[in-house]
Structure 1
Amino acid sequence: MIVGVPRESQREEARVPLLPAEVNKLKALGLAVQIEADLAASLKIPDSAYLEMGATVLTDRRQILAESDLILRLNPPPPEEMAGVSPKALHISYLNPFQNQALLQVCLANKIRALSMEWIPRISRAQAMDALTSQASLAGYVAVLLAAEYLPRVFPMMSTPAGTLQPARVLVIGAGVAGLQAIATARRLGARVEGYDLRPEASEQILSLGARAIQIALSSTETNAEGYVTAVSSEQLKRQAEGLAEAVSHSDVVITSAQVFGKPAPLILTEALLDLLKPGSVVVDGAVDSGGNVEGIVADQLIERKGVKLIGYRNLAGRVPHDASRMYSANLYFLLKELADSQAQAETKTWVLDPHNEIYTAALLTSHGEWQQAKLKNFWQGRLG
């Protein structure tokens, strides 16, 4: 069985899907690895590092796509590249399936087995391969560092002969993985931190990190089996805005990371709430990849509105590409290790897929020209013809 790893197609992407350390581990699973030349040039890792671990280096991406049994990538590939994947192959990457109509059309038409890293179930068995969690944690960390860079004051309290500097006040909206990491990082930098999440059970996690949990009485929210919010009503958003007004007004930094599974990110910081911020404040929208939580945010730009800086940089985890690549590469290794049929592997001395593995069946989106996930099929029914 051959694992193929092409370079990422996005020029601005510094992360890579597989590092040399995992090549050796994949070989131990009975897999041969071939990579595209300059795979990790963005990390200053030469091809020779992969060769030393036993990988083959190829210059023709089309050859890798056509010959490989398993294809490992990070970002969703362009549809024209997915069209070059062999129907016998299993393609593993982020797929952003609720926004990628053209890509899914290719997967169905070409009978490609496409496994989405976003759909790895949030169960204890899958923690080591949960790429959403690993990358979101780094994104939360980076969001705080960006805010600290652009805030015209220090985060911690400082006592000096000239007087005492009060700590910066940070508000984190959305206490998922990214939000909790943002809270923890801001606390470590010495800020006074408040956190808020629609889910009442998140308050305990916020408090456990030493932050103050903002409580807003709302009707219950819809969540899926894995804890993701799946729907937010207009009435909930209105009451939420009213409840957040006081906290926003005294915050120096606001970081948002609220996501809704399978839908655009909810608009949380409206212009009315932004008007409450003091000049010099900083807002970091950690949900800009899915539309953004901040009204007027511009993707990949820092803009100033009435003296308040609004940061809308996408791919925050990509700003620490070495560690992000380390974590994603490990996620892929643990995934392939989990998906192996151990009995067949022992007999054949090569990697053999267990098609009945619960993680595989949960994350596989298309196979043999058919939808594998009812939710996705229902979403796209009629849209793809």
Structure 2
Amino acid sequence: MKIGALQEPSFENRVSITPDVIDALQKLGFTVQVESKAGEKAYYSDADYEKAGAKILSRNEILKDSDLIISIHPIDPDSAKQIPKDKIYIGTLSPLAFPQKTKELASFGAKIFSMDTIPRITRAQSMDVLSSQATVSGYKAVLLAAANYSRFFPMLTTAAGTITPARVLILGAGVAGLQAIATARRLGAVVDVFDTRPEVKEQCMSLGAKFVEVEGAADASKSGGYAVEQTEDYKNKQKEAIAKFAEKADIIITTALIPGKKAPVLITKEMVNSMRKGSVIVDMAAMNGGNCEYTENDKTVVQNGVKIIGDSNLPSSQPMDASKMYAKNILNFLKIFVNKEKQFSINMEDEIINTCLIAESGNIRHKGILSLLS
């Protein structure tokens, strides 16, 4: 069976398959084909792929000759038209954020798997692209904030006096938030963290952060590891608590997303205007509207001396390791399709496969996407 890895759009530096997973894919019985220059921005040359055993082909050859096509971002309609209807396409499609685009992609007839719909169960951890890429995002968000901050992060005692440490407020203690805590603490900042799930308190404290508790949060234990919509009463309590910490914060990192919904606004205009000049907000929910009222996606806005950086694609800024992690997720995902005889089959009784197959034969089959479309 032939796997074809495509070059990503011009704004993306990552690549979906890296040379280090090609040997493992071949042992599973796959032949690997990579679009020419697909890995260049992630510092993987065509020669690196060929040395690992992959074939370098043009985009048209990949689309027509591959049984299974892989990318990170959704492919363009012209490329989708070239995929035969009996073939398979795997990507990270954000179908709950862009249901109409997903419907258009599905109309071309291929079997479509979206890696960001993988259920958050123990068996699927090694395939979870959202978690692996969130690790990169959380790390890079703090470095980005530090680079734009007007002061030092750590406490420094110098002949010229003592510099107090930066205060960092992190909203959301998922994978990205926890990595942000760890990175900010390594840089010497004092960290406060807020999350609607009280069960993450221990994890935050173990990394050296203070956990901000607000009582009355909706139970998220049955949401598959994702955040859920909160009541208006809770939102008001939440707003008051965050406002107190935002006023003292030098850096705010926001990570809050709810699948299929606009990102909740956690940092209001009033909160931004209460922060001291030279402070920085890095909003990782920018693509879904942002957690800050001033956020604009892919832009840096300066308001009352505070920088608000909207960036939902931070993994692209660390393309080599981010690509490696994504490629490992793809490898582990493909393993569940291959039996001991190296035969490829789609077992719809497998929870992971059944959840991730969002479309086939031109029709959407994912209940969440269908609900949004209707």
Deviation larger for 99-108 or 303-312:
99-108
Per the alignment, do residues 106 and 301 of structure 1 end up closer, same or farther by CA in structure 2, a change over 3 Å counting?
Answer: closer
Instruction: Map 1:279-318; keep pairs closer than 5 Å.
Output: 279-318=277-316
Kept after mapping to 2: 8 A contact 1:15/1:322: yes
Q: Secondary structure at the match of 1:335?
A: helix
1:206 deviates by 1.4
Instruction: Map 1:224-263; keep pairs closer than 5 Å.
Output: 224-263=222-261
1:260 deviates by 0.7
Give the alignment partner of residue 213 of structure 2, picking from 205, 212, 215: 215
The CA distance in 1 between the partners of 2:72 and 2:297, in whole Å, is 20
Give the alignment partner of residue 356 of structure 2, picking from 350, 363, 372: 363
The CA distance in 2 between the partners of 1:220 and 1:101, in whole Å, is 26
- Confirm whether residue 203 of structure 1 aligns to residue 196 of structure 2: no
Residue matched to 1:14: 13
Letter in 2 for 1:74: I
The CA distance in 2 between the partners of 1:37 and 1:271, in whole Å, is 46
The CA distance in 2 between the partners of 1:99 and 1:75, in whole Å, is 13
Residue matched to 2:4: 4
Kept after mapping to 2: 8 A contact 1:113/1:366: yes
Q: Secondary structure at the match of 2:291?
A: coil
Give the alignment partner of residue 157 of structure 2, picking from 153, 156, 159: 159
Q: Secondary structure at the match of 1:156?
A: coil
The CA distance in 2 between the partners of 1:20 and 1:308, in whole Å, is 42
The CA distance in 2 between the partners of 1:220 and 1:355, in whole Å, is 32
Residue matched to 1:30: 29
Q: Secondary structure at the match of 1:303?
A: strand
Kept after mapping to 2: 8 A contact 1:223/1:231: no
Letter in 1 for 2:248: H
Q: Secondary structure at the match of 1:77?
A: coil
Kept after mapping to 1: 8 A contact 2:42/2:323: no
Letter in 2 for 1:3: I
Kept after mapping to 2: 8 A contact 1:168/1:252: yes
Q: Secondary structure at the match of 1:238?
A: helix
The CA distance in 2 between the partners of 1:102 and 1:240, in whole Å, is 33
Deviation larger for 159-168 or 228-237:
228-237
Letter in 2 for 1:29: L
1:290 deviates by 1.8
Task: Supply the RMSD in Å over aligned alpha carbons.
Answer: 1.7
Letter in 2 for 1:213: F
1:297 deviates by 1.1
Kept after mapping to 2: 8 A contact 1:76/1:93: yes
The CA distance in 1 between the partners of 2:84 and 2:187, in whole Å, is 49
Letter in 2 for 1:193: V
Residue matched to 1:56: 55
The CA distance in 2 between the partners of 1:356 and 1:52, in whole Å, is 38
The CA distance in 2 between the partners of 1:102 and 1:295, in whole Å, is 25
Residue matched to 2:370: 377
The CA distance in 1 between the partners of 2:197 and 2:163, in whole Å, is 34
Alignment deviations for residues 135-186 of structure 1 (CA, whole Å, 9 cap, x no partner): 0011010110011111111111122233222111100011111111101110
The CA distance in 2 between the partners of 1:102 and 1:51, in whole Å, is 38
Deviation larger for 17-26 or 232-241:
232-241
Kept after mapping to 1: 8 A contact 2:273/2:303: no
How many residues are paired up?
374
Kept after mapping to 2: 8 A contact 1:222/1:231: no
Residue matched to 2:107: 109
Residue matched to 1:183: 181
TM-score by length of 2: 0.95
Q: Secondary structure at the match of 2:244?
A: helix
Deviation larger for 160-169 or 241-250:
160-169
1:316 deviates by 0.8
Per the alignment, do residues 15 and 150 of structure 1 end up closer, same or farther by CA in structure 2, a change over 3 Å counting?
Answer: same
Find runs of 4+ consecutive structure 1 residues off by over 6 angstroms. none
The CA distance in 1 between the partners of 2:371 and 2:344, in whole Å, is 34
Unaligned runs of 5+ in 1: none
Kept after mapping to 1: 8 A contact 2:33/2:62: yes
Q: Secondary structure at the match of 1:296?
A: coil
Q: Secondary structure at the match of 2:261?
A: coil
The CA distance in 2 between the partners of 1:276 and 1:26, in whole Å, is 53
Residue matched to 1:273: 271
Alignment deviations for residues 277-304 of structure 1 (CA, whole Å, 9 cap, x no partner): 0111111111112221011112112121
Kept after mapping to 1: 8 A contact 2:95/2:102: yes
The CA distance in 1 between the partners of 2:322 and 2:173, in whole Å, is 21
Kept after mapping to 1: 8 A contact 2:217/2:230: no
Letter in 1 for 2:133: Q
Kept after mapping to 2: 8 A contact 1:120/1:130: yes
- Confirm whether residue 329 of structure 1 aligns to residue 318 of structure 2: no
The CA distance in 1 between the partners of 2:323 and 2:307, in whole Å, is 29
Letter in 1 for 2:316: G
Q: Secondary structure at the match of 1:275?
A: helix
Per the alignment, do residues 336 and 189 of structure 1 end up closer, same or farther by CA in structure 2, a change over 3 Å counting?
Answer: same
1:217 deviates by 2.2
Kept after mapping to 2: 8 A contact 1:223/1:230: no
Per the alignment, do residues 224 and 368 of structure 1 end up closer, same or farther by CA in structure 2, a change over 3 Å counting?
Answer: farther
1:30 deviates by 0.3
Percentage identity across aligned positions?
A: 38
